[in-house]
Amino acid sequence: MADTLTLFTSIGLSEQKAKETLKNDALSSFNMLGDVVDRDTMGTLLYSMASRLKDTKRLAFLSHSIAQCKICTELQLAAALDFVKSHPHDPINQKEFEEACGVGVVITPEQIEDAVESVIKKHKEQLLKERYRFNMGLLMGEARSALKWADGKVIKNEVDMQVLHLLGPKTEADLEKKPKVMQFIIFKGIPMTGEGKSLMEQLRGEALKFHKSGENYKTEGYVVTPNTMSLLKKHLEITGGQIRTRFPPEPNGILHIGHAKAINFNFGYAKANNGICFLRYDDTNPEKEEEKYFTAIKDMVEWLGYKPYAVTHASDNFQQLYDLAVDLIRRGHAYVCHQKVEELKGHNAPPSPWRDRPIEESLVLFERMKKGLFAEGEATLRMKMVMEDGKMDPVAYRIKYTPHHRTGDEWCIYPTYDYTHCLCDSIENITHSLCTKEFQARRSSYYWLCNALDVYCPVQWEYGRLNLTYTVVSKRKIIKLVETGVVRDWDDPRLFTLTALRRRGFPPEAINNFCARVGVTVSQTTTEPHLLESCVRDVLNDTAPRAMAVLEPLKVTITNLPESSKSDVRVPDFPANEAKGSHTVSFTRTIFIEQSDFREVMEKGYKRLTPEQPVGLRHAGYVISVQKVIKDAQGKVVELEVTCCSSETAEKPKAFIHWVSQPLVCEMRLYERLFLHKHPEDPSEVPNGFLSDINPNSLQVISSALVDTSVKGANVYDKFQFERVGYFSLDPDSTADKKIIQEIHNVHHLNIHVYVYVNID
């Protein structure tokens, strides 16, 4: 058993996952190692397979395929799982299986270059006519269909490079906005416009069919009382008919991507209709509230581009809420109860024997609760009503002997959400109380309480939650990830909290654009991270200046340049629009290129540097040719000696590669998705819980990476694109002596993410 455990950990599994895998007899009953090329990848594939397939015979078959390096990628594994699941009883036809899974298919950079070149040639006439208005997605689609097993992001990068080579930088005419053609997308619930409309356009006017200010009574389900019209008249006198919304988070955790939709919906609806929006902290649970959460929430709202009309707190209204509770008792709608918390849980709690106690008795007992004459859990104030989900007499006040963040020891009774929420909305004269769909069951209690107290009653409107796959956003689960050391803190770049996304380098406008693309849906929305990443790329492509970096350096000495040779090379910040500026980098006798940009043995279709084939250096104006290959004692290529000539006089090379000279020495941390499965909280996908689904390769380190010196003066959160690598941002941990550059998106990896430690002399 110990030997097998060592075997599993040697192929990239953590000790915990190795022990879990040992429970699977079919998977652990034979030697899987074989001739392993990439142990970390193999470990991830084995664990992913074992957690998604229960057929022991098929497990053994697929395990051998992975161990023999026939199945090498997640894309191949997905195809393999589909194949074996569609052949549950048949003996596996090895040839059909390998064809279906792309076994042995190697997609080289040259094949990608050729495929893209072929597609561009096919559409060349239309491309030259329409230029950058041409639908580039068509090129991507055709190239991908030709190369089923290729990395889509590498194809995208190659398309961009070849289109730029064909068309040149964007002109002023290219930069003019194309007239919008409206596209309509039907969501479950209401028809909404997709990318054809901005979020503001979606939230403006008749799109949502919301009531007009003061016309609450026209809303379906709104309860009208004899005093409704006079209360609405007073409400209009206060608001002047202005739209009023609020964003009411609990200050007991960090906001996540789902909150971005709520922020955009609440603040956006007010802004789109010339209204105001309050940031109101629902601070009624002193046990879980901390100052850092208050600060972080406000920071994130403002980071997304919204300024609250006012920052308020539920605790601002503690005295008024208490007075209203006394009034509720006097009206016969509330009573003091002594049932224990355990008795009140669930929807079938026994009726309270104190429900019909005299009003005067409840008033006295409630005053005693306020004075601290009961122990915690010994008494609660309950409202006499039945909620839409069947729950009877929800609690309005409970006892907590915990000092409050703002009010200290002034109170020992605190109101609940069901009591506080609607009354704070009423106090602030909110016109549209916008909340997520799960609060629909509380709508009737919302209206009941306002009407029972004879106060102004806003209208509650529900919208669908926004969820992302491959992540968890629950406060409790994120705390568990932090406590177990899986992630560093709430802002770990692998999380989807807003602080993590900001640290990762996601522009706020990209997150807002993502919310607009998702649309103001009534139904719950679950989407994959690549849609958010697409929005990020769209913004950064226009805003992140280019630079060069080499992740796996190979030293190149240009022998026909003098030892002291040094010149400045101009690199455009935005090659498609050079008018936006440039920077200079040094070019000396010694440069560094990517190891993958050189091959000692020429292969068919390879277009970069070989002893027989020269290559161009991007931006430098030189073509280099290999003269000597230098190897270490183990036979590894460690240096090239080359000669250079001007690209103006040399024959045009088949490719141009990036390079660095006199660079900053870096350490890069690459991140993949934190979880292996789309739904890590789903027991049917991950039976052993979300902590068992951690991707063992979510953090990888590359040493001796090199970055050009143009990033040396960058400020925290400055963003730039390393050519042929990805988008990066300067991390807040940076110091004067060590800059940390964190990757936002990488063209060679799926959803990965990099820190770069920069040693500055």
CA angle in degrees (0–180, nearest 5) for 498-500-505 = 95
Q: What is the spatial distance between Cα 42 and Cα 319, in angstroms, rounded to a whole number? A: 62
| DSSP annotation of 710 | G
Catalytic residue among 110, 250, 509, 667: 250
Number of residues that this document lists for the chain: 761
| DSSP annotation of 211 | P
SS3 305: coil
CA dihedral 258, 261, 263, 268 (to 10 degrees): 180
Query: Any residues with CB less than 8 A from the CB of 241 and at least 6 apart, and which?
Result: 213, 214
Catalytic residue among 298, 437, 475, 580: 475
Q: What is the spatial distance between Cα 526 and Cα 236, in angstroms, rounded to a whole number? A: 38
For residue 314, CA distances in Å to 376, 426, 536, 563 come to 22, 12, 35, 71
For residue 381, CA distances in Å to 362, 400, 407, 478, 480 come to 9, 13, 21, 33, 33
How do the residues of the chain divide into helix, strand and coil, expressed in percent and rounded to 5? 40, 20, 40
Catalytic residue among 465, 477, 580, 678: 465
For residue 460, CA distances in Å to 258, 439, 444, 609 come to 19, 9, 10, 65
Q: How many CA atoms lie within 13 A of 703 on its CB side?
A: 0
CA angle in degrees (0–180, nearest 5) for 70-75-81 = 75
Active site residue 475: yes
Active site residue 246: no
Q: Reading across the β-sheet that carries 413-415, which strands appear in turn?
A: 334-337, 380-383, 395-399, 413-415
SS3 28: helix
* CA 142, 146, 151, 157 torsion-angle sign: negative
Active site residue 406: no
Long-range contacts of 101-105 (CB under 8 A, 24+ apart): 101/65, 101/70, 101/71, 101/76, 102/75, 102/76, 102/148, 102/149, 103/65, 103/70, 103/71, 103/76, 104/70, 105/149
Q: What is the spatial distance between Cα 55 and Cα 88, in angstroms, rounded to a whole number? A: 8
Q: What is the spatial distance between Cα 408 and Cα 428, in angstroms, rounded to a whole number? A: 24
Per-residue DSSP letters for 245-268? EEE---SSS--BHHHHHHHHHHHH
Active site residues: 250, 465, 475
